[in-house]
Amino acid sequence: MKTQAYQTKIADLFAHYHVSASGLSKEEAARRLEASGPNALPAAKVDSYLKIFARQFASPLIYVLIAAGVIVLLMGEYIDASAVFIVLLFNAVVGAFQEGKAQNTLLALNKFTTTEATVIRSGRELIIPSEEVVLGDIVLLRDGDKVPADVRLFETTNLRINESALTGESTPVLKNEETLAGDDLPPAEQVNLAFKGTLIIAGTGRGLVVGTGLETAVGRISAKLGSLEADVPLKANIKAISRVIIIGVVFINLFLFVVGLLYGNSFIDMFKTVVAVSVALIPEGLPVVITLVLAAGVWRMGKRQALVKRLQAVEALGQAKVIAVDKTGTITKNELMVQSLFTNGQSFDITGDGYSPDGEIRLAGQVLDPPAHPELVLAGRIATFCASAHVAYSPETELWQVAGDPTEAALLVFGQKTGFHREALVAENPSVGEIPFTSDLKYHSTLHRLADGRHFFTQVGAPEIIINRAKYIFRDGERHKITASDKKDLHQQMKAMSARGLRVLAFGYHDEAGPTLTEDDLPELTLVGLFGMSDVIRQEAKEALHRARAAGIKVVMITGDHADTARAIAAEVGLFRPGDEIITGADLETWDDATLDQKLSQTSVFARVTPEHKLRIIDAYRRRKEIIAMTGDGVNDALSLVAADLGVAMGRVGTEVAKEAADIILLDDNFGSIVSAVEEGRNIYQTIKKVVLYLFSTSIAEVLVIIGAILLGWPLPLAASQIIWLNVITDSFLVVALAVDPKDGTLLAKPFVKPNRWFFDSLMIVRTVVMTTVMTVGSLLAFWYYLPDALVPTAGQLAYASTIVLSVLVFYQWMNIWNCRSEDRSIFKMKIWENKYLLFAAILVIGLQLAAIYLPPFQTFLRTVPLSIFDWLLVILISLSIIIVEEIRKLFARKLNT
């Protein structure tokens, strides 16, 4: 009964809810409230900062690092253990701070729906909190009210409701009380229902409450939000690579431990080595560096008016293959504007930006002066008389705000563009009569007394009504008898306007009307022309779409509007092109998943869809393994914003629900900011790739040096403390500096290649093999050169050779960090000051290594000895091999790509 209330006769609903026209009694209402609970959404649980902080450690990689830190601590290596724990703590603090900013979506839904309600109880009007409204209550609805519950209407007077936040349709819905037929009609077509949380912009009505709390349309959306979760790609990749690292560490350590013992190494030495190798293999710098990279991206996006609620959301946006945009609020501004005028046999174009009064009137591309054209003056005058809305600019929000019907607001602004201001015009020509627009009449009429005593009658409304009433037509400054040919021309113009997605209104006048105005005795009408109005397209949308396509991103539009309107808007902005298809909600109701999947590649517009349809569309793209970002501004978008890989909400016109459901909020509502965010996301991904390549190539090289020495029957070339020094101290500074490397300017010039689940692509694997091979061979050669008696070296010889290997690996790291900055660009073509942090970090690393070799406390801790000038020249010469080999590889890579 509740879900199909639009199909049920009102008398049957009264009987079902056991209520009469005088409403429920106070006692019965209290009983129902106690039985069903308040008319509110469940209070959302807000996690404490402590819980958010603890959640930052919920990662397999973090678990292994904690275990390694504990083992190092038990070994008495307090400094090394402290370094590991400081890295983990910093990562958790930054992540918790960023996540703690976000509020719960359900709290926003409560805020959206909190209001007061006027109900009839025991024959009396009462104003009560909306939470106390119960099933069976009779509710009074008036201009400016928020609908307190889902209400089946049984009495309406020109009742128009703005449902854009719920359905996505920008045009106010004219409601009526007629019983409807048809099963499973979407909310946008249930015109005899008023939905909880929507706004009444005109008229009055009465209705019977048929849904409260979670049983309302907005409540059903909120109930689904809690069950939806989408893992961002980076999080999934980190999980995958963590599993690989853990498995690799276990097998390598077992191999090392067994082989080391077989080759005569002591149990204690091998245990320390295994722990050190674990630290070497586990990129303890990775979590903090990823956090820093993401935080830097968030900061840069903030400068571009994009507020990021989750750090990892930025990187995920860089991987987006599809951006699904909501028409209302994203492609368009949700501001109606008169864009076309047909009068005196000519078509005029009107420019402007929504409700702003700035704009021009053009004919064949030439700007006109309206006062010099009588037909424009007359059109502006009629539009102003028939506009009861008010438009005002808010400096706080930097938006034009409307009180009243958006259609009449558009007429008011058009009048301003022709030189009229309603207050002044009405003061000079007082109103003596008015017939407001209603669903039955389909027109708005006014009567004004002119200065010479005549009465000026105006009428604006549905073309089929106005044209049929017209006896004359305005042409060349005079009125002429309207002919069949005139009407044919008008219908052709209407068809052309409708094909452009414009809503068409006809208008006319009579300048010698009687002193009174009644529906039964209207003055004769002289038809002046046609207004064509539509939601204003955002100026930046076309450029943003072009940039998105250049970046290999497909943009699709999802809207609750009719297919013809959606097609016209999409075609105008350049989104819908020849050969594209449109899928409607009706199609989705009849198609199975296989059919939908087959149609996706040819589809650029989804029209007349419900929130449930949006979820199905998102699921279809995700079945194709395509990362999808969804934009939206209304309650109807909340589900899809949560379900998509990335949810992007409009900050200015968006509802609180949409903002809280989203991962990113565009503070300036600029669709172009999404594309800029994609660029930032790609930069973050590229930076993380650089970091991963560097960390893994150096870590694997260290392990291979140890394995190689053991297999050759040599002593261990590195002590456990030296391995930890390489990874925790020298690596950290270089990696952090690499994390803030300048952005590549070609990120949007080519399609993005989605990374595999282990984060490594084929090129990274090749580069890792090349780099680790060079570093391993070079280090082992240095060890062999400085250890003449490799089988039985003295303690002094081993310390000297180990110091050389440690220094070679440090300089390899220093050299390799420059290699990792680009996949194909030579380091000799990179400006050394492009990344001054990297230069400073390299100098710091060299300084630390000199301290490690020449300062007694470090010598004792790291088991190092001083080196000669010749030793340093040899270390530098060996480490330069990593640059030479990588430069050769880059040279071949550039030739292959040309």
Which tokens is 445 given? Answer: 């009429």
Question: Which H or E run includes 61?
Answer: helix 60-74
Calpha distance 497→507 (Å, rounded): 15
Active site residue 619: no
CA-wise closest residue to 590 among 603, 602, 599, 601? 599
- Position of tokens 């928020």? 146
Calpha distance 626→645 (Å, rounded): 9
Cα–chain-centroid distance for residue 646? 6
DSSP classification of residue 551: T
- Position of tokens 């061979």? 777
Calpha distance 502→54 (Å, rounded): 54
Calpha distance 588→663 (Å, rounded): 27
Could you say which of 326, 637, 645, 731 is catalytic? 326
The number of CA neighbours under 13 Å toward the Cβ of 308 is 29
306-308 and 664-666: which strand pairing? antiparallel
Which tokens is 649 given? Answer: 């909400």
Return the SS3 of 454.
coil
DSSP classification of residue 56: T
For residue 657, which amino acid is it?
V
Calpha distance 607→590 (Å, rounded): 15
Return the SS3 of 741.
coil
End-to-end CA distance of the chain: 68
Calpha distance 191→179 (Å, rounded): 9
| CB 672 within 8 Å of CB 121 | no
Q: Which residue spans within 219-329 are E strands per DSSP? A: 306-308, 322-326
CA-wise closest residue to 381 among 438, 443, 457? 457
Question: Which H or E run includes 128?
Answer: strand 124-129
Calpha distance 396→399 (Å, rounded): 8
Cα–chain-centroid distance for residue 296? 19
DSSP of 82-105: HHHHHHHHHHHHHHHHHHTTPPPH
Which tokens is 559 given? Answer: 């809207």
Q: How many of the other CB atoms lie within 10 Å of CB of 80? A: 26
Calpha distance 726→723 (Å, rounded): 5
Q: What are phi and psi of 867, to 5 degrees?
A: -115, 155
- CA dihedral sign, ordered 454, 455, 460, 463: negative
- 710-749 exposure pattern, b = at least 16 Cβ within 10 A, e = fewer: beeebbbbbbbbbbbbbbbbbbbbbbbbbbebeebeebbe
For residue 363, which amino acid is it?
L
Question: In a 10 Å sphere around its CB, with 0-12 CB exposed, 13-18 middle and 19+ buried, how is residue 7 labelled?
Answer: middle
The number of CA neighbours under 13 Å toward the Cβ of 893 is 15
Q: How many of the other CB atoms lie within 10 Å of CB of 35? A: 9
DSSP of 651-692: SSSS-HHHHHH-SEEETT--HHHHHHHHHHHHHHHHHHHHHH
Beta bridge partners of 455: 449, 513
CA-wise closest residue to 755 among 686, 663, 696? 686
| CB 379 within 8 Å of CB 542 | no
Q: Catalytic site residues?
A: 326
